[in-house]
């Protein structure tokens, strides 16, 4: 099973090794592929500028090795398309925001100014995670919705009073 890890997959350089990985994964089934897909997703969250080329290659290779991930689970029918969208959008953010400007707190907002729905905000993110989420939400973005990746430059923070809480102290 240790040969079916995402870490091992990222080290595969030869086509023959990729085919062996594919055969072993198909023999292992759902749980092995689930772990592989979730670790791939974690890799997409954490990679940075220097890893763009490697992740592009590995994403293309995974698509070739597993052209129908829905064979493991129907819910994965659009897995590679989802990862492609995330990869492209995250790279857009990596290329648009200089490394020197990435420190601090970031947030991702989803808003549709033509509806009465609330704005959805994911605050307190590091840049790489925010860039990942910027890509993650693009796939299901509805017409007129705005997706914003923004840095928090000024922040005031307060918490509610304990006296006003309906929950007892712990």
**Amino acid 80: pLDDT:** 98
Residue 53: pLDDT above 60? yes
Question: What pLDDT does residue 62 have?
Answer: 97
* Confidence at 170, pLDDT banded by 50, 70, 90: low
Percent of the chain with pLDDT over 70: 96
Among residues 128, 63, 121, which one has the least CA distance to residue 90?
A: 128
Are 44 and 55 in contact, with CB atoms under 8 Å apart? yes
Distance CA 67, CA 133 (A): 25
Q: Are 138 and 85 in contact (CB under 8 A)?
A: yes
27-39 residue pLDDT tens: 999 999 999 999 9
Residue 103 has pLDDT above 90, yes or no: yes
| pLDDT (0 to 100) of residue 169 | 67
d(CA 117, CA 111): 8
Confidence of residue 168 (pLDDT cuts 50, 70, 90): low
Domain limits, the chain: 2-153
Residue 1 clears pLDDT 50, i.e. is over it: no
Q: Is the pLDDT of residue 84 over 90?
A: yes
What is the C-alpha radius of gyration for the chain, rounded to an integer number of angstroms? 20
pLDDT in tens, 105-163: 999 999 998 888 889 999 999 999 999 999 999 999 998 999 999 999 998 888 887 77
């Amino acid at each position: 099973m240790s040969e079916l890890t995402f870490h091992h997959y990222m080290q595969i350089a030869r086509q023959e090794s990729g085919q062996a990985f594919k055969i072993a994964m198909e023999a292992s089934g759902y749980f092995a592929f689930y772990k592989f897909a979730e670790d791939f997703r974690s890799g997409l969250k954490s990679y940075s500028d220097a890893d763009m080329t490697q992740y592009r290659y590995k994403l293309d290779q995974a698509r070739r090795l597993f052209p129908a991930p829905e064979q493991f689970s129907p819910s994965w029918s659009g897995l590679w398309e989802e990862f492609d969208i995330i990869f492209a959008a995250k790279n857009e953010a990596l290329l648009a925001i200089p490394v020197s400007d990435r420190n601090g707190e970031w947030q991702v907002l989803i808003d549709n100014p033509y509806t009465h729905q609330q704005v959805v905000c994911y605050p307190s993110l590091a840049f790489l995670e925010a860039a990942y989420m910027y890509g993650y939400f693009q796939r299901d973005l509805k017409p007129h919705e705005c997706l914003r990746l923004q840095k928090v430059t000024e922040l005031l923070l307060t918490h509610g009073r304990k006296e006003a809480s309906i929950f007892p102290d712990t």
